[in-house]
Structure 1
């Protein structure tokens, strides 16, 4: 009897536990669904979302690792979009330690993207790019185009910060195309914002502002206050670099208004930093200095603070407070000593240049000469060692020349006249040094001008060329179609469009690797090139899609050309890195360009339907 009672008791306990476990699992799923649904809310109202996240069941979250990672991810986003950058970094690093590819793989891919952001904010550019590439690879594996495009855009931004502008342009173009094809509004805005940054870095302010304005409008339409603020700040800073002080101040004011709801010490810092630096650059030190000093009290962004100290030193010297100026120079030097990665950069060298200017204002012209000579020679060394010459060098060099001339003008002062009389030999040595420096300076200007011309041409080519295959890109062929449609001869002559899609490219990438997949894409490009005639346009418009615009053709001829391409592709095997033979085929859709069509999208829709029919007919074939 006791045995039966014990059995009944155990059965009841097991049933209760099973019911509890089922209820617990249901709660997990419900919370995961709730967290996933917060994507839009966290962008529009990060502060309210963060409060909601804080009130969630901590015990339930801690009991499930996947749930915890997703919760940390949302906390990170809420912190980031409300300017709580230290908390953002903390939550991302916690999520990174817990996250893995085996469970919630897409969440892990997004964690990798944010971890890459953390790394580039710390100045660890190589590590950032390494992590972001891992995110991109995982996104490809998951066939998640959104995270792939996001990773490409963040890689482009990191490369921009590392001053690798051509590579940045390529990655940004790839991310932008992916985002545009699928209408990912947030990523389109981010890409436009980074285009603004990139063009600002290469000293093209008009292009920079145009892209920032486009980004800003996207974010205004989406009602994302953080990103509205970021693009607005970019416009203000570009005007500051362009020395348009009035517009810079106005746009910094708009930035302050844009992030008013997200008010934090970080947003206040960025506002005071921008306004203070603008007034300082303008030469209005009376207005600039109190704002700069207020910014320095707000937060500990060391690299930004170093720039503030440099400008405050100049202002303090101009206002006659040389002790404070010397203290600011020392503070800037001490900050740079803590950031070894900046050693040997112009950011650090500028401390000596500013120290020279301060010394000259104090009347210590001998020290001023020593400092400016040291700065100038070390600056030239950097230019000679830098194999990928920065596009901004010409601007910096001309600024240096102007500042040196200003120092020379100081020689006309009474104090410097006494120094010249006391040391005639030093005058001769300095004259020789200036002559030598002028020769080197002219040489640098010529080299930089040559590189600027070369890189500008490269940028122009990249804007209409697919980097992998050397074909035209989507932008170019669609522009060609628009031009053709607007031509009066379109109604008199037969034209057609082909859409070519590589069959089963994903299995090739999965089984052989992306390098062999790229070989297949190049082979298809070569097959298409072999049939081109004058006036035809052949382009790669996406991952495995190509488009061929045939002008002045006929239905019989276009079918013949399509079959020749199909035959050439199927008869040209790709040899993998391991020596294996990979057989590649493609499907082609054809559509004639009708008289009444006025938009490329109309003909594209019809040719896409034809390609769909070719795919349904067994692939490796042509369909109208």
Structure 2
């Protein structure tokens, strides 16, 4: 699945916003986009100037930005888009900044810009605007190889779209994102069906290029290299006609990967060399690195160790130029796999360990599990079985935690069905036993003791199973390190909480440890774990049993403080901030370290319409707390 995620980067294209039955400009754009990307770009530039502030202008402007990136014309955006002083253009400005950062593989900058845009969009109370911003956010997450919680954002687009009186303008783009997500989740049959339907629904042949490309990648996933090659060549022909060099290079890269899988190594090197030339021209270091890794795989298949090693070294020298941890980790893991195939186990361990550390820092479970699998296998190949066993134990724990999070909701739904006492189950079995005795009284005298033993043994197994379920349920609902609630469990409990008592308010508190990365880098990850556990323990002791504490991810926590009295509601969080800042922990090396955190708070008296909206407001306030110096409390509005 990781191969498809890497290949799907930047495959989400500029789809129509308005239904063709409702927009003359969209009909014109569809025709131009199918014929020539440059002409379509000029048309978008005219439209964004002529359109008044609205959700439509936001879409056109963001689409213009994406097209400019594909044509290497991003420098012209400052003159093409003249921003006005209104909420719509402020959102558009944030969207354009986010798209530029995503194109440059700048993960943190991308997420920050999108958070601001999404927060403003929800405040505007315009469903068309909210759905549009969420849709571009989905596309950016796919570009950055981040499929986490993608389905939730897809549902948010659909929820807003269903409130519109006219058909939502981004249905085709949403359709493509849902197909990509289906592939990520392993449902390739559904993805193939969705792409074929999209191809049939496309009015102009030129607009089918991205569908051909993504359909080909799905066939690659299931091992159908013939159809994968056929549809990629269809896509390549259309993109050459459209004069879209960025997408031409991407399609050539995909053709090279398919040819290597099909063992047509000459064709693979031909396509990969052409793609690499484009990426050098585009000055795209990540794509250069990715292409070089694919060339190394071809050389490894050809048993040309020197060329494979050289290609890997060149690839690794490129990725320091990008700060997208997801993409860097992916390159490191692929390099480690290639080195393992070449028998270079020491080098492979170095790359896999770097990938392990990177994915641990950002809680990237998919890459973390992959790195543990690689490291365990590599140490076993070097006969270091003790280290291999240790890594295998960590791998099992991570998989268990990952699967627990995915299945927790299903377990909760089954909870009512499993709440049967051991005595009730014993009575059922005794009743069945008695009925059998009455029916066969004359023949069961010698068998009664044997049946009783079977019943008691079954009850013992059931008791053990129920105890295991309880432990598994606890692990699924609590963070393994700190004992705090998991994010999903916390949100479910808060969403079901009663409204505050009269004269009181509920409070949600989002806080984040300051300079946590520096603690890990200087004092080591074990000290970072000590800091996290210390913070969680202190919070539980300070706020008591009525409060709920959740570890939202990494060094970020959230508190639910119910029924606070208005007169002292501001003091309690400030007092905890002071207590935390005055406390110390002892590092692994014996050094005393002070910990501080930045806080944001949100108070409410009625049931909230959306916890997502509250989280966005808290996130903005937390960003303000950090920006203004850290170790302080900012109230969200």
Q: Under TM normalisation by the shorter chain, which class is it? A: 0.5 to 0.7
What does 1:88-107 align with in structure 2 at a 5 Å threshold? 89-94=74-79, 98-102=82-86, 106=88
The residue that corresponds to 2:438 in the other structure is: none
What does 1:286-365 align with in structure 2 at a 5 Å threshold? 286-299=266-279, 300=282, 301-319=284-302, 321-342=304-325, 345-355=329-339, 357-358=341-342, 360=343
Give the whole-Å Cα distance in 1 for the aligned partners of 2:217 and 2:92: 29
SS of residue paired to 1:128? helix
Greater fraction helix: 1
Relative distance call for 1:115 and 1:82 in structure 2 (3 A) is closer
Residues 322-352 of structure 1, C-alpha deviations (whole Å, 9 max, x = no match) = 5533432232122113224449724235435
Residues 225-261 of structure 1, C-alpha deviations (whole Å, 9 max, x = no match) = 6764334323322333444433432332343355464
Q: Is the 8 A contact 1:306 1:332 kept in 2?
A: yes
The TM-score normalised by the length of structure 1 is 0.53
Relative distance call for 1:284 and 1:55 in structure 2 (3 A) is closer
The residue that corresponds to 2:115 in the other structure is: 133
What does 1:394-405 align with in structure 2 at a 5 Å threshold? 394=369
Relative distance call for 1:55 and 1:174 in structure 2 (3 A) is closer
What does 1:477-496 align with in structure 2 at a 5 Å threshold? none
Residues 357-383 of structure 1, C-alpha deviations (whole Å, 9 max, x = no match) = 44x4xxxxxxx2422343454455456
Q: Is the 8 A contact 1:575 1:582 kept in 2?
A: no
SS of residue paired to 1:45? helix
Q: Is the 8 A contact 2:135 2:157 kept in 1?
A: yes
Task: Determine whether 1:446 maps to 2:396.
Answer: yes
Count of aligned pairs: 408
Shift of 1:150: 1.6
Q: Is the 8 A contact 1:189 1:215 kept in 2?
A: no
Residues 520-567 of structure 1, C-alpha deviations (whole Å, 9 max, x = no match) = xx999968xxxxxxxxxxxxxxxxxxxxxxxxxxxxxxxxxxxxxxxx
Shift of 1:212: 6.4
The one of 242, 255, 266 aligned to 1:262: 242
Give the whole-Å Cα distance in 1 for the aligned partners of 2:230 and 2:109: 37
The residue that corresponds to 2:159 in the other structure is: 177
Shift of 1:145: 1.8
Shift of 1:84: 3.4
SS of residue paired to 2:85? coil
The one of 332, 357, 365 aligned to 1:390: 365
Relative distance call for 1:450 and 1:144 in structure 2 (3 A) is same
Give the whole-Å Cα distance in 1 for the aligned partners of 2:168 and 2:354: 46
Shift of 1:211: 4.4
The residue that corresponds to 1:124 in the other structure is: 106
The residue that corresponds to 2:258 in the other structure is: 278
Q: Is the 8 A contact 2:239 2:247 kept in 1?
A: yes
1 or 2 for the larger relative contact order (CA 8 Å, sep ≥6)? 2
Give the whole-Å Cα distance in 1 for the aligned partners of 2:40 and 2:356: 55
Give the whole-Å Cα distance in 1 for the aligned partners of 2:324 and 2:337: 20
Name structure 2 gaps, 5 residues minimum. Answer: 1-22, 414-490, 500-562, 571-601, 610-637
Residues 101-150 of structure 1, C-alpha deviations (whole Å, 9 max, x = no match) = 33xx5455345434322222222233223323333344445443222112
Shift of 1:280: 2.2
Q: Is the 8 A contact 2:345 2:378 kept in 1?
A: no
Q: Is the 8 A contact 1:307 1:332 kept in 2?
A: yes
Task: Determine whether 1:38 maps to 2:25.
Answer: yes
Q: Is the 8 A contact 2:219 2:225 kept in 1?
A: yes
The residue that corresponds to 1:589 in the other structure is: none
Relative distance call for 1:257 and 1:152 in structure 2 (3 A) is same
Name structure 1 gaps, 5 residues minimum. Answer: 1-35, 361-367, 409-429, 464-518, 528-572, 587-624
Q: Is the 8 A contact 1:252 1:271 kept in 2?
A: yes
